[in-house]
Structure 1
Amino acid sequence: MSVSSIYQVIIRAACTTVLLLAGSAALAAAQPKSPAADATSAASASGSIAANQTEISLATLGNLSGPLRLAGAAVARSMSIPLSAREQARDAVLHLVVSNSVSLLMARSQLAVRINDRTVAQLQLSPRQPETTADIRVPVDLLRPGYNALTFAVAEHSTENCEDPNSPELWMEIDTTASTLRMQTELKPLTPTLANLSDLVDPKQWSARSIAIVNAARPDNDQQLASGGLLAQGIALRLRYLSATPRVLDAQPGTGAGMLSGLALTPLAGSDVLLIGARDALRRYIDPQIAARIDGAFLGVYPKPDDARHFVLVVSGRDDAEVNRAARAFAHSELPLPRSSELVVGEFDESTLPRWSASRTISGTAPWSFRQLGFTSRTLRPQDEVNLDVRLPADIYAPEDAKVTLDMNFSEGARMREDSVLDVRLNGRFAQAIALDQTQGAVIRHYRISLPLRDFHTGQNTLSLRALLVPSVSDRCVFRQTDNLEVTLLDSSTLTLPDASHYATLPDLKRFADGGFPYTVPHDGSGLAVRIASKDHSTIAAAWSLMSKLAQSQMAPLTSAQVTFGAPGAGRHTVLVGATPALPLALLDHAPWSPGKSISVMNSMGGSSDERSGSWFNRHWDALFDAPVHAAPIGDTLRGDLTLSQQLLVMQYRDAAGRALTVLTSASADELLDGVSRLVEPTYWGGLDGNVAVLSFNHPGLWTAQIGDTYETGTLGAMEWLGFSLSRHPWLGYAALVLLLAVFAASTSLLLKRYHQKQHRDADQ
């Protein structure tokens, strides 16, 4: 066969193959597809994007502020690797930066890295190379949905014989800032149900998170605004410790797909969707069969038609009241929902929670068991530590000598040395120690210790219990028994507060950040009104994001809060959110700042609140004598014509009705949303203080100041009021003492004079 003949055969074969492939493609295109195939192909089409890759430091992962130090002959420390149930881990690499003592024996010293108790790597600790860097590939099949234990276990030795296991040269450190975990994950196609909503909105998710609240029509009344705000709160409560500002959009008609047959899906690409509106308003956007099933307060969750890796939650009803009831059901993240995709919500009672019950906030004089504080009985080994979250009301007040009582139930092992203790720390500071000096072991009931209430913060406190256990024999070259070094702390132990009042000084943005005070009293938001200054999406989203943070701070939704474009209801504390040009000027009459008005303050960027406020006399001198002292955030003066460009201004003051009014404003609605989104992050939210704060987009940190007069809220008895006044204004006590001394001196002088006159009169007679 000639060469030309061979070429002709090859060309004919190639043409035949092309025609066959084209025919197959046309035939496949003509075949009908099932919805599941549609969703899968859509997921493949939009999701052939590379898996999401995220890198996080071990300091962030373990909530650590410094290096992780492992000291001793054998010690282990763990932290958690979160993984969402809606994700598939594709790759994970642990980058470690380690330092160790130069006194270690290389042949007998090593660091083992474990995932869920499976050893994945061992590093030799060498005195010749005390700085080690390693990249460890983590087998992804060991990672399961939930929290995975990442354990660092070290064995350290400095000599072959007669070694002290607590010798100071036995140490190594992991640089938690430079050490990172890099995870590559991708979202899995979903088959969602209402029962697993918390898996759909999950703080453990590594992949980028985008959530859109889509209104069937722009909210135009209080009930519609409140319903959208409840959806945002439901998202925040499921994210628990993460902040998320959802996008707020109006539904746009278009050629959709699947159950969103009439909705334009392009603006919602890559987002989970919460679609809210009354049934008649939603008909044009959703599948008619779904609309027909909306015969009450309705919740329905489905895979997103164009991308099955995301979900659509439909929140609807026949009218606004039913939509609001469905939104309230979603906002209560603790409410059990069925393992089905749809539900018509009947009536449910939200009034059973007493005041101050949200997020285990404790008050009253009844004992609170450790079980109620979220602790379960646990056995502690040497150096083990447990933490209890103790949340106090933001306005708790008691005399200076008031005590918090811990009634401890525990058992201790036998044959421990008498200097073994259970160390008690409050907010990282040593408070007391419980002696574990029963050499025969013991079961202890009702061991009581007292801590001053003044050492507790309002809001969140951390009570730490650490076991410092020592073996009875510690001589060199002697076998040491350590398996007996155990203490079991029982969750029947209790914490009891003293008799206290609810009384506080306002305005105070710190109390506002700690627990939403005074807006979250009561916790259902019946004392809160959120006034939105304009009807654009950005301002609405900013208001809903702030409400989400307040709900998250107390871990309970504000189901009775009023959200309005108009005037708030009587008797409610108000939060006003809006761009500066849209703010009602009448509400700024008593504000520390308003357009055209200058502020006299002392610059207070950084430093403690005591440093910023100074003494009572200094803080009130200007108010008494009208002496202006000009200062400003990020500059020399805070002028009345401040534009607030690239800044968010937060201020709290008492309005004309005597209620708390907090204003959040910026130069424009878009900057307002940007500023609120930054403010609700823990870095800035925890820095709120005083009654005026300015967040600058171009500068790190938060500027705060206390401007103007303060006032008290709550009730006190006569003696408690006297003690409170003297603690707030100690110079009054000094003045009263001087007055009493003067009265005593004058009385003594008068009595002595009379006595002298009497004695001399008797002598003269």
Structure 2
Amino acid sequence: MLPLKLIQPYVRLLTLLLIAFLSLPAQAKTSNEFRLSEFYGGNSLLRLNGERPVQDLGITLSPLLAVSSATLHLKATSSITMLQERSILNVRFNNVTIGQITLNPNKPNLQADVRIPSELWRPQYNTLTFAASQYVDRCQDSNAPDLWSEINLYNSYIAFETTKVINQLNLQKLSDFFNPGIGGQHQAQIFTLDNKQENDIVNKYAIPAVAQALALRTQYQSLHIDYQNIESKAADTKSIVQPISESKYRQSSWYITDKKADDIHVLIGTKNSLQQALSEKTLEEINGPYLRIEKTPAVIIEGEELVASHIRLIVSGLSEQDVVRAATTLAYMDDRLNPDQSINVHSTVNNAFIPQQQVTLQPGKSYTLSELGVTAINFNGPGLLTKKIEIRLPADFYASETDTVELTLDFSYGAGYEDGSTFNITVNGKVIHGLKLDKKDGDFYHNYTLSIPARLFDGGKNELAFHVNQNSIQLIGECRSVNGDYLHFQLDTDSKIELPTAAHLARQPDLRLLGQTGYPFAQYQTQDDTGIYITQATMRSAALTMAGKLAQSSGNLIPNLYVEMGIPTTLTDTAMVLATPKDLSAELYSDLSTAITDSKRWPYRLQNKLYNRVTANDNQNLQPNTAAGFTTQQSTLGDFSLVLATKNPVADKTGTLFIIAAETTERLTERISELVQGPLWSQLAGDFFAWDNAKSPLIVMQVSSAYMLGATDSWTALGAWGTNHPWYLLLIIVAIVFMFMVFTWLLLKRRHQKIKEDWKE
């Protein structure tokens, strides 16, 4: 038998290897459940009507995830008149049938577990399909009202067991970490070292740019930022890390206390400020704006894991300006074009570049549907079929009364269409044209032109939708029918939309426009500095989360957006203030009927006949429900938070001030994390928005006086002013008419006097 002293080194070695193996993030299995309602944009009850209804759900999966097991737990209800032997709910995944469930009229409420084979999962996009075969009678009408079943998407879910797999770590993988689908990272930690200057360039510009860059990668999913400044521990590393080398400890993620190693974090700062956290090799590589992704080593001492291995993104440079340029590059770059672990940036975009012009359609130009990203529009089979296209215009798109959007279409349909077959076109839910498809042998239309009033289009996102209702031939006689699969309608993607030239004016304040487009922080014509001001250092994480959400809404980086500690006497024209009531002064509320200092001034709805009502979205002619009465009281905000928007009273030029307040800093951070989530952010409206949860607001009102913001010619600006102040305009017109009448009367009187004098002579 071997002596114990000889065995101990091997036991220790095996222990270290086991710990190192278990600490690898790529090997950790995680289990999660996702409701099907998270993958569907409509109602949480999915209704399947008709004889052969089909509905697809898109499921996005991070390319870094490998699915080891997945089970669909389904809850559904079907009509009690179904024929059990013929009625089936088919479940398909990526076009492969994975389950067939009988629709039993004696048990209309069904539950089923369907296993989704691991080999069917694809990186990025997957499709879950529900296809029902529903029969109630041998000779049934295919549109009979009792042909229905419904799936409760909220109570149905997919249970996953996944493993994160990173085959080759490089900058190409960065977007995969922040994929908006399953397995994507929806929170990020940003670290600086020994950064005690609250308003230096790195804090003001570089870190907000990094927050925006990461949020743009999560696309429509919210991203919560956690910012931390860490004091360097280099002085006592020797006493901590013996017997390992000090350099290895520095290369680790010693500044992170969290043992979770799956998520990527960001380390940002100049080369000098990061010397205590980077290897000599990495420091030598930094010779300008610098980006690097790497896996830090784990620190294990005598079998105990002192520091876990993590994946981090380094944003650095020789100077603070270099760090800003590196952060800007991070926001603009296509990750797929960077197969390396690190890059040095030699130059960045010029100052004349305005990001918003790259993500919106430009007034005065025409675009084909294919240029808008539409690949094909084909409608096959019977029923009402719809294709929706997003038309994204500048947020301050302002058209005159006579301007029109020209829509030129090429489309065709085949033979066999019966009465009731129609082709309708809507803009933002309003029907703008309809056509009856009544040619028995089909027809083809070329350059079918429609002139649509430009004011039907809003600044920001618009929805152009094509609706085709296809009815098949109806045969007379018992059990005679045609399934209608032969019906075919095609809209050519060479069809185009032509926009008129337009001014750039937007009615303010408008939280809806902020939520949809990031306006006025992101503007089409200018990129002036815009500030997010915080009153306490612990609010920086909330400010960075908000900066990321504004970038998401605008669709691009807002390059001159910065975060500043403190509220100066003069703010940027467009500004946002995060504060508690005790941090705010009455000067900020000089143009507002609401105030949230220690004393609250509330425009109660019944005092102003507001009734929680916000007027309809109309950038061209919108008269707000301006509050005239208010109550001043001593009270707190309690659990809720509040967003107020008003004309900026402490700016050099006309702009909008947004104030977000909560009773405490912790409550403010929590409420902003709720606000940036999709359900609540999509409900932003008016200029007074209060909430205390992530699903719905407490009160939405419009209480401030409206004004127009933007740059345009004098006549357009005058017309916009008159549109928003019709009574003033009417008084001016009356005054002009009166002056003209007086002037005419004086001329006639003078002429009459002269005629009288001539008669006397």
TM range (shorter): 0.7 to 0.9
- Aligned partner of 2:23 in structure 1 is 42
Q: In structure 1, the residue corresponding to 2:220 is in which secondary structure?
A: coil
- 1:574·1:662 contact (CA, 8 Å) conserved in 2? yes
Cα 1:89–1:335 change in 2 (3 A) is closer
- Aligned partner of 1:297 in structure 2 is 289
Partner of residue 117 from structure 2, selected from 127, 136, 139: 139
1:650 aligns with 2:643: yes
For structure 1, the residue ranges without an aligned partner over 5 or more in a row are 1-14, 623-627, 631-637, 747-765
Cα 1:612–1:295 change in 2 (3 A) is closer
- Aligned partner of 1:288 in structure 2 is 280
Matched residue type, 1:172: S
- Aligned partner of 1:373 in structure 2 is 372
Tell me the distance in 2 between the aligned counterparts of 1:24 and 1:482: 74
- Aligned partner of 1:759 in structure 2 is none
Q: Percent identity?
A: 24
Tell me the distance in 1 between the aligned counterparts of 2:427 and 2:605: 32
- Aligned partner of 1:182 in structure 2 is 159
For structure 2, the residue ranges without an aligned partner over 5 or more in a row are 299-306, 743-761
- 1:405·1:497 contact (CA, 8 Å) conserved in 2? yes
Q: In structure 2, the residue corresponding to 1:364 is in which secondary structure?
A: coil
Tell me the distance in 1 between the aligned counterparts of 2:611 and 2:42: 22
Cα 1:736–1:474 change in 2 (3 A) is farther
Q: Summarize deviations over 1:56-105 as a string: whole Å, max 9, x none.
A: 1x222111224222222223111112211112223322222222233332
Partner of residue 11 from structure 2, selected from 25, 43, 51: 25
- 2:253·2:310 contact (CA, 8 Å) conserved in 1? no
Tell me the distance in 2 between the aligned counterparts of 1:186 and 1:144: 14
- 1:90·1:186 contact (CA, 8 Å) conserved in 2? yes
- Aligned partner of 2:94 in structure 1 is 116
1:231 aligns with 2:231: no
- 1:427·1:463 contact (CA, 8 Å) conserved in 2? yes
- Aligned partner of 2:513 in structure 1 is 511
Q: How does 1:151-230 map to 2 (within 5 A)?
A: 151-160=129-138, 162-189=139-166, 191-206=168-183, 209-218=186-195, 220-225=198-203, 226-230=205-209
- 1:506·1:711 contact (CA, 8 Å) conserved in 2? yes
Partner of residue 523 from structure 2, selected from 476, 500, 521: 521
- Aligned partner of 1:272 in structure 2 is 264
Matched residue type, 2:283: A
Partner of residue 101 from structure 1, selected from 69, 79, 85: 79
Tell me the distance in 1 between the aligned counterparts of 2:86 and 2:443: 37
- 2:584·2:596 contact (CA, 8 Å) conserved in 1? no
> TM-score, normalized by length of structure 1?
0.82
- 2:291·2:315 contact (CA, 8 Å) conserved in 1? yes
Q: In structure 1, the residue corresponding to 2:370 is in which secondary structure?
A: coil
Deviation of the 1:321 alpha carbon: 1.2
1:609 aligns with 2:614: yes
Tell me the distance in 2 between the aligned counterparts of 1:205 and 1:145: 10
- Aligned partner of 2:700 in structure 1 is 704
1:90 aligns with 2:92: no
Deviation of the 1:142 alpha carbon: 1.1
- 1:413·1:442 contact (CA, 8 Å) conserved in 2? yes
Deviation of the 1:347 alpha carbon: 0.5
Task: Show structure 1 runs of 4+ deviating over 6 A.
Answer: 15-21, 568-571, 615-618, 716-719, 732-746
- 2:364·2:500 contact (CA, 8 Å) conserved in 1? yes
Cα 1:620–1:133 change in 2 (3 A) is closer
More displaced stretch, 552-561 vs 19-28: 19-28
Cα 1:456–1:85 change in 2 (3 A) is same
Cα 1:721–1:26 change in 2 (3 A) is closer
> RMSD of the TM alignment (CA)?
3.9
Cα 1:384–1:583 change in 2 (3 A) is same
Q: In structure 2, the residue corresponding to 1:279 is in which secondary structure?
A: coil
- 1:381·1:467 contact (CA, 8 Å) conserved in 2? no
Matched residue type, 2:645: Q
Tell me the distance in 2 between the aligned counterparts of 1:559 and 1:39: 42
- 2:27·2:163 contact (CA, 8 Å) conserved in 1? no
Cα 1:533–1:167 change in 2 (3 A) is same
Deviation of the 1:517 alpha carbon: 1.9
Deviation of the 1:106 alpha carbon: 1.7
Tell me the distance in 2 between the aligned counterparts of 1:523 and 1:119: 52
- 1:606·1:703 contact (CA, 8 Å) conserved in 2? no
Q: Summarize deviations over 1:168-193 as a string: whole Å, max 9, x none.
A: 33222222233222223232356321
Partner of residue 496 from structure 2, selected from 490, 494, 514: 494
Cα 1:699–1:561 change in 2 (3 A) is closer
Between the two proteins, the alignment pairs up a number of residues equal to 706
- 1:303·1:309 contact (CA, 8 Å) conserved in 2? yes
Deviation of the 1:460 alpha carbon: 2.0
Q: How does 1:491-570 map to 2 (within 5 A)?
A: 491-522=493-524, 525-534=527-536, 536=537, 538-565=538-565, 567=568
More displaced stretch, 319-328 vs 121-130: 121-130
More displaced stretch, 322-331 vs 688-697: 688-697
Cα 1:71–1:326 change in 2 (3 A) is same
Q: Summarize deviations over 1:675-704 as a string: whole Å, max 9, x none.
A: 221221223223333333333369952423
Q: In structure 2, the residue corresponding to 1:407 is in which secondary structure?
A: strand
Matched residue type, 1:706: Q
Matched residue type, 1:217: D
Q: Summarize deviations over 1:558-612 as a string: whole Å, max 9, x none.
A: 1233433364998642222334444566555555415355525133898430399
- Aligned partner of 2:225 in structure 1 is 246
Cα 1:38–1:515 change in 2 (3 A) is same
